Structure 1
Amino acid sequence: MNEQTTAAMSPTTNDEGTMNIDDLTASGPDADAGTVVRITTGAVRGAAAAGATAWKGIRYAQPPTGARRWRAPVAADAWDGIADATAFGNVAPQEIVPAISLGPGAEPDEDCLYLNVWRPDGGSDAKPVMVWIHGGAYTYGASSQPLFDATRLAVTGDVVVVTINYRIGALGFLDLSSFSTEDEVFDSNLALRDVLLALEWVQANIAAFGGDPAQVTVFGESAGGGLVTALLATPTAEGLFRAAIAESSPVTSMYGRERSRGVAERFLAAAGIGIDGAVSALRRLPVDRIVSASSAVYNDVPSTIPGTLAFAPVVDGDLLPEHPITVLSEGRGLPVPLIIGTNRDEATLFKYMKSPLIPITRDAIERMFALMLEDNPALAAPSRDQVLGAYRGARRSARGLDIATDIGFRMPTLWAAAGHSRVAPTYLYRFDFTTLALRLIGIGAAHGTELPYVWGVLDGGLKDPTFKLGGRRAGEALSRRLLARWTTFARTGAPGPGWPAYTEGGRKTLVIDREDRVEPDLDGALRAAWGDVVLSFR
Structure 2
Amino acid sequence: MAKTRFLLELLVLGSLVVAQNTSVSSYPDTDVVIVSNNDLNPSNPDRASALFLTNSFTCAEAYAACAQLQETLLPSPNSTGLNAQNLSVALTSCSVFTPSYDSTDDYPGSSTLSTADLSARLPVLCTNSAPLTRSNITADTSRQIQLSTPAAGTLVGYRDKFSFRFLGIKYAEPPTGEARFQPPTPVQASPYTVRSALEYGPTCAQPPDADNGHEWYDAEDCLQVNVFSPVVNSGTNSVQTAPKLPVMFFSASLSVVSFAVHGGGLNTGDSGPIPFNETSSGYVGPSTSNIFDGTNLVSYGGVVLVTVNYRLTAFGWFNASNAALRDTLLALQWVQDNIEAFGGDPTHVLIFGESAGGGMTRYLLGTNPAYTEGLFSAAILESDWPTSNQFYSPARSLELSLTLAKALGCADNSSTEFNETMAVCVRALPTMDIVATSYDLNLSWEIIVDGDLVLTDIASSIKDGNYARVPTIWATNECEYCFFIPDSIPTNASPSAFPDNLDIWFNSTQVQKILDAPPDLYPYATAPSGGDLDGTVLQLAQLITDWYLHCPMLYLSSLADNTTNPGNNYKVMFAVGLGSTITANPRTCPGQVCHADELYWVFATAETDNLYQPLTPSELATTQEVIKRWTSLAWTGNPNYEGAVVEWPPYTGDNEVIINATATETIEPYRVAQCDFIENQLGLVFGQS
Which aligned pairs between 1:183-262 and structure 2 lie closer than 5 A? 188-235=321-368, 236-252=371-387, 253-254=389-390, 255-262=392-399
Q: Which residue of 2 aligns with 1:83?
A: 195
Equivalent pair of 2:147/2:232 in contact (CA under 8 Å): no
CA distance in 1, matches of 2:466, 2:519: 31
- Work out whether 1:116 is the aligned partner of 2:212: no
Q: Using a 3 Å threshold, how does the CA distance of structure 1 residues 207 and 121 change in structure 2: closer, same or farther?
A: closer
Which of 547, 555, 561 is the equivalent residue of 1:407? 547
Equivalent pair of 2:571/2:651 in contact (CA under 8 Å): no
Which residue type is aligned with residue 347 of structure 1? Answer: Y
Deviation at 1:205, TM superposition (A): 0.9
Equivalent pair of 1:429/1:512 in contact (CA under 8 Å): no
Q: Which residue of 2 aligns with 1:338?
A: 472
Q: Using a 3 Å threshold, how does the CA distance of structure 1 residues 460 and 525 change in structure 2: closer, same or farther?
A: farther
- Work out whether 1:514 is the aligned partner of 2:662: yes
CA offset digits 1:217-255 (Å, max 9, x no partner): 001000000011111111222221000000011122212
Deviation at 1:352, TM superposition (A): 6.7
Q: Which residue of 2 aligns with 1:398?
A: 538
CA offset digits 1:229-287 (Å, max 9, x no partner): 11111122222100000001112221222332232233223333325752331111100
CA distance in 2, matches of 1:59, 1:143: 13
Q: Which residue of 2 aligns with 1:378?
A: none
CA offset digits 1:433-491 (Å, max 9, x no partner): 147999984311000010011100114868x6xx49x9744322211111111111111
Equivalent pair of 1:138/1:173 in contact (CA under 8 Å): no
Q: Which residue of 2 aligns with 1:136?
A: 264
Equivalent pair of 1:270/1:296 in contact (CA under 8 Å): no
- Work out whether 1:494 is the aligned partner of 2:638: yes
Which residue type is aligned with residue 136 of structure 1? Answer: G
Q: Using a 3 Å threshold, how does the CA distance of structure 1 residues 513 and 325 change in structure 2: closer, same or farther?
A: farther
CA distance in 2, matches of 1:153, 1:141: 20
CA distance in 1, matches of 2:148, 2:214: 27
CA distance in 1, matches of 2:519, 2:26: 67
Which of 3, 22, 34 is the equivalent residue of 1:20? 22
CA distance in 2, matches of 1:23, 1:440: 54
Which of 517, 531, 535 is the equivalent residue of 1:386? 517
- Work out whether 1:318 is the aligned partner of 2:468: no
Q: Using a 3 Å threshold, how does the CA distance of structure 1 residues 280 and 99 change in structure 2: closer, same or farther?
A: closer
Q: Using a 3 Å threshold, how does the CA distance of structure 1 residues 107 and 289 change in structure 2: closer, same or farther?
A: closer
Structure 2: gaps spanning 5 or more residues: 1-17, 30-67, 71-142, 234-241, 252-261, 274-289, 416-420, 490-496, 528-534
Equivalent pair of 1:329/1:416 in contact (CA under 8 Å): no
CA distance in 1, matches of 2:480, 2:462: 22
Which of 555, 566, 569 is the equivalent residue of 1:426? 569
Which residue type is aligned with residue 576 of structure 2? Answer: F
CA distance in 1, matches of 2:226, 2:375: 18
Deviation at 1:348, TM superposition (A): 1.2
Q: Which residue of 2 aligns with 1:9?
A: none
Query: Per the alignment, in what secondary structure is the counterpart of residue 391 of structure 1?
Result: coil
CA offset digits 1:275-328 (Å, max 9, x no partner): 575233111110011110121123xx5xxxxxxxx1222233331111113323
What is the TM-score with the length of structure 1 in the denominator? 0.81
Q: Which residue of 1 aligns with 2:53?
A: none
Query: Per the alignment, in what secondary structure is the counterpart of residue 250 of structure 2?
Result: strand
Query: Per the alignment, in what secondary structure is the counterpart of residue 521 of structure 2?
Result: helix
CA distance in 2, matches of 1:313, 1:141: 17
Equivalent pair of 1:36/1:45 in contact (CA under 8 Å): yes
Q: Using a 3 Å threshold, how does the CA distance of structure 1 residues 30 and 483 change in structure 2: closer, same or farther?
A: closer
Which of 269, 272, 279 is the equivalent residue of 2:409? 272
Equivalent pair of 1:153/1:456 in contact (CA under 8 Å): yes
Deviation at 1:116, TM superposition (A): 0.9
CA distance in 1, matches of 2:596, 2:579: 17
Q: Using a 3 Å threshold, how does the CA distance of structure 1 residues 223 and 388 change in structure 2: closer, same or farther?
A: farther
Which residue type is aligned with residue 370 of structure 1? Answer: N
CA distance in 1, matches of 2:579, 2:623: 17
- Work out whether 1:157 is the aligned partner of 2:267: no
- Work out whether 1:72 is the aligned partner of 2:183: yes
CA distance in 1, matches of 2:25, 2:232: 23
Equivalent pair of 2:350/2:377 in contact (CA under 8 Å): yes
CA distance in 2, matches of 1:397, 1:447: 16
CA distance in 1, matches of 2:179, 2:621: 47
Which aligned pairs between 1:2-81 and structure 2 lie closer than 5 A? 18-23=20-25, 25=27, 34-79=145-190, 80-81=192-193
Deviation at 1:100, TM superposition (A): 3.0
Deviation at 1:63, TM superposition (A): 0.7
CA offset digits 1:138-191 (Å, max 9, x no partner): 1111111311110000111010000011001111123x14xxxxxxxxxx2111
Greater C-alpha radius of gyration:
2
Deviation at 1:421, TM superposition (A): 1.3
CA distance in 2, matches of 1:191, 1:387: 43
Structure 1: gaps spanning 5 or more residues: 1-15, 178-187, 302-309, 374-380
Q: Using a 3 Å threshold, how does the CA distance of structure 1 residues 279 and 364 change in structure 2: closer, same or farther?
A: farther
CA distance in 2, matches of 1:319, 1:117: 27
Which residue type is aligned with residue 135 of structure 1? Answer: G
Query: Per the alignment, in what secondary structure is the counterpart of residue 45 of structure 1?
Result: strand
Structure with the largest fraction of helix:
1
Deviation at 1:88, TM superposition (A): 1.1
Equivalent pair of 2:20/2:150 in contact (CA under 8 Å): no
Q: Using a 3 Å threshold, how does the CA distance of structure 1 residues 461 and 152 change in structure 2: closer, same or farther?
A: closer
Q: Which residue of 2 aligns with 1:12?
A: none
CA offset digits 1:185-229 (Å, max 9, x no partner): xxx211111111100111111111110001100010000000111
Which residue type is aligned with residue 481 of structure 2? Answer: A
Q: Using a 3 Å threshold, how does the CA distance of structure 1 residues 193 and 96 change in structure 2: closer, same or farther?
A: same
Equivalent pair of 1:382/1:530 in contact (CA under 8 Å): no
Which residue type is aligned with residue 93 of structure 1? Answer: A
Which residue type is aligned with residue 184 of structure 2? Answer: P
Deviation at 1:23, TM superposition (A): 4.7
* Corresponding residue pairs, total: 485
Deviation at 1:114, TM superposition (A): 0.6
Q: Using a 3 Å threshold, how does the CA distance of structure 1 residues 129 and 512 change in structure 2: closer, same or farther?
A: farther
Which residue type is aligned with residue 574 of structure 2? Answer: F
